[in-house]
Amino acid sequence: MIFRRRIDVPAWGWTTPFGELENLRRQMDLLTEGMTRGLWRETSPGVFPLMNLTEDKDNYYVRAELPGLKAEDLDISVTADTLSIAGERKLPIENEKVKYHRREREAGTFSRILSLPAQVDTGRVDAKCVDGLLSVILPKAEAVKPKQIAVKAS
């Protein structure tokens, strides 16, 4: 450093004698962070089932993707402001001698609870499962529906 300053040799971006080692450490941290993030992303389970919640003035509509499941494999329950979908995903048993090279489809039980924006009329809920798509119609409770008020002229 003293030699560099006296004869005015450029520093080439080095600020300390250990600057290159610090730069190498930062690059290694980025590399290992990227590798572990990729591993965790591949092994972490996704949210199942995927659901959409929409509404109009009278109902809430929930649509859930449940490929390969039958209606009898599902347990759906509704309270005033929550919808619960539970079930078991079963995969066909394969030959015991089979060797997996990649296994992404998982079997087992699942449960998903969805909070609804307002209360629903639990007595009038309708659910259908066709071709792996579950559709649930949740009528809004009368107390939360907007009321039309007539204005009287005096």
pLDDT digits (tens, 9 = 90+) for 102-120: 877 778 888 999 999 999 9
Residue 101 neighbours by CB distance under 10 Å: 4
pLDDT digits (tens, 9 = 90+) for 45-58: 566 888 999 999 89
pLDDT digits (tens, 9 = 90+) for 26-47: 888 888 776 665 554 444 456 6
CA–CA dist 125, 76 (Å, integer): 10
Q: How far is CA 73 from CA 36, 51, 68, 111, in A?
A: 36, 17, 10, 12
* Strands, E assignment, the chain: 50-55, 59-65, 74-78, 82-89, 108-115, 126-130, 133-139
pTM of the model: 0.62
pLDDT digits (tens, 9 = 90+) for 81-103: 999 999 988 887 777 888 888 87
Task: Give the type of residue at 43.
Answer: T
What is the distance of C-alpha 9 from the center of its chain? 56
